[in-house]
Structure 1
Amino acid sequence: MFEADRWLVLIVEPDPAAGAATKRLLRRLCPHWQAELCTDAVSATQFLLEQALAPQMLLADRLDESLRGEELLEFCAGHSPATIRVLMSAENDESVLLAAVQSAQMLLGKPFTELDLLAIFQRAEQIIEGPFSEHARYQLGTLQALPIQQRQYQHILTLLDDPDSSQRALAAALEREAPLAGRLIQMANSAYLGFRRQTLDLQEVTSRLGRDMIKAIMQAFMLHQQYQGRIQPQLHQQLQDYAVALASVAFQLARTQCRDDASLAEKAYVAGLMQALGPLALLATQPLSSQQLTQEDMFQDDVADHCVLTGYLMTLWGFSADICAAAMYRLDLQSSPHIDRLQAILHLASYVLYLQQQDPTGTPIQPDLDALDRFALTNSFLAVNQEGG
Structure 2
Amino acid sequence: MVTKEFLVLLIDDEELILRALKRTLSRLVPHWKVETLQDGHLLTEVLSKGLHPDVVITDRLMPGLNGEQLLLQVQQICPMALRCILTADNSADLLLQNSALIHFYLAKPFTDEQLLKVFSCTEQLQTLDFSNTERAFLGRLCVLPVLPPLYQKIQSMLNTTEFQLKDVAELISHDPVVSSRILQLANSAFLGFSRSTVSLTEAISRLGLDMTKSIVLALKSSLVYQGRISTAQHQRITEQAFHQACMARYLCKQAGLGAEMQDYAFLVSLFGCLGWMAEHLQQPSMSDEDSCHFSMISAYLLTLWGFEHSIVQAVILPEALADCSSLSGVVHWLAHKVVHHKNYQLTDSDQHIVESLQLYPAWTELLTGLKTG
Q: TM range, normalised to the smaller chain?
A: 0.5 to 0.7
Change (3 A) 1:313 1:34: same
The equivalent residue for 1:387 is: 369
Q: CA deviation at 1:124?
A: 0.9
Task: Quote the offset at 1:104 in angstroms.
Answer: 0.6
Contact 1:344/1:371 (<8 A) preserved: no
**Cα distance, 1:328 vs structure 2:** 0.4
Contact 2:292 2:318 in 1 (8 A): no
Structure 1 residues 349 and 374, CA, compared in 2 at 3 Å: closer, same or farther? same
User: Deviation per CA, 1:148-170, whole angstroms, max 9, x where unpaired?
Assistant: xxxxxxxxxxxxxxxxx944632
Distance (Å, rounded) in 2 between the aligned partners of 1:325 and 1:246: 18
Give distance in 2, aligned partners of 1:54 and 1:12: 14
Do 1:331 and 1:365's aligned partners in 2 also have CA atoms closer than 8 Å?
no
Assess if the C-alpha contact under 8 Å between 1:127 and 1:315 holds in 2.
Answer: yes
Is 1:314–2:302 an aligned residue pair? yes
**CA distance 1:255–1:169, change in 2 (3 Å):** farther
- Whether the 8 Å CA contact 2:173–2:179 is kept in 1: the answer is no
Report the Cα offset of residue 37 of structure 1.
1.4
Q: Which position in structure 2 is the counterpart of 1:129?
A: 127
Residue 202 of structure 1, CA deviation: 4.5
**Secondary structure class of the residue paired with 2:295:** helix
| Counterpart code for 1:387 | G
Specify the alignment match of 1:248 in structure 2: 246
CA shift, 1:312, in A, is: 2.6
TM-score (norm 1): 0.65
Aligned pair in 2 of structure 1 residues 146, 115: CA closer, same or farther (>3 Å)? closer
* Structure 1 residue 348 corresponds to structure 2 residue 334: yes
Q: 1:385 to 1:205 in 2, by over 3 A?
A: closer
Deviation at 1:343, TM superposition (A): 1.3
Q: How far, CA to CA, are the matches of 2:215 and 2:296 in structure 1?
A: 28
Q: Partner of 1:101: helix, strand, or coil? A: coil
- The equivalent residue for 1:170 is 177
Kept in 2, the 8 Å contact 1:331–1:347? The answer is no
Equivalent position to 2:316, from 318, 323, 328: 328
Is the Cα–Cα contact under 8 Å of residues 87 and 108 in structure 1 kept in the other structure?
A: yes
- 1:354, 1:5 → 2: CA distance? 39
CA distance in 1 between counterparts of 2:92 and 2:249 reads 34
Q: Would the aligned equivalents of 2:10 and 2:36 in 1 still touch at CA under 8 Å?
A: yes
Give 1:6's aligned residue. 5
Equivalent residues in 2 for 1:135-154 (5 A)? 135-145=133-143
Instruction: Return the letter of the residue paired with 1:269.
Output: F
Structure 1 position 99, deviation (Å): 4.9
Where does 1:227-238 land on structure 2 (aligned, <5 Å)? 228=228, 237-238=235-236
Most deviating of 23-32 and 320-329: 23-32
Q: Quick one: percent identity of the two aligned structures? A: 26
Q: Is the 8 A contact 1:73 1:104 kept in 2?
A: yes
Aligned to 2:287: 293
Post-superposition shift, 1:255? 5.0
**Separation in 2 of the partners of 1:377 and 1:306?**
26
Partner Cα separation in structure 1 for residue 352 and residue 174 of structure 2: 40
Q: Which runs of 5+ in 2 are unaligned?
A: 146-171, 183-208
Provide the rounded CA distance (Å) in 1 between the counterparts of 2:353 and 2:286.
32
Q: Which amino acid letter does the alignment assign opposite residue 367 of structure 2?
A: N
Cα deviation per residue 1:183-216 (whole Å; 9 max; x = unaligned)? Answer: xxxxxxxxxxxxxxx977349958xxxxxxx79x
Q: Residue in 1 aligned with 2:163?
A: none
Q: Is the 8 A contact 1:7 1:33 kept in 2?
A: yes
CA distance in 1, matches of 2:225, 2:231: 16
- SS state of the match for residue 201, structure 1? helix
The Cα shift of 1:232 comes to 7.0
> CA offset at residue 73 of structure 1?
1.6
- Structure 1: how far apart are the matches of 2:65 and 2:179? 40
Asked if structure 2 preserves the Cα contact closer than 8 Å seen for 1:254 and 1:265, the reply is yes
Cα 1:67–1:269, aligned 2, differ >3 Å: closer, same or farther? farther
TM-score (norm 2): 0.67
Q: Does residue 103 of the first structure (1) align with residue 114 of the second (2)?
A: no
- Structure 1 residue 371: deviation in Å? 5.2
SS of corresponding position for 1:24: helix
Deviation sequence 1:69-109 (CA, Å, 0-9, x none): 12222232223222211223344433443355242122333
1:131 Cα offset (Å): 0.8
Alignment of 1:27-176 (within 5 A): 27-48=26-47, 50-64=48-62, 67-145=65-143, 166-167=173-174, 169-171=176-178
How far apart, CA to CA, are the structure 2 residues paired with 1:10 and 1:365? 49
Kindly state the Cα deviation for residue 246 of structure 1 after the two structures are TM-superposed. Answer: 0.5
Residues 268, 328 of structure 2: 8 Å contact kept:
no
Question: What does residue 162 of structure 1 align with?
Answer: none
* TM-aligned CA distance change 1:327 to 1:294, over 3 Å: closer
State the superposition RMSD in angstroms.
4.1
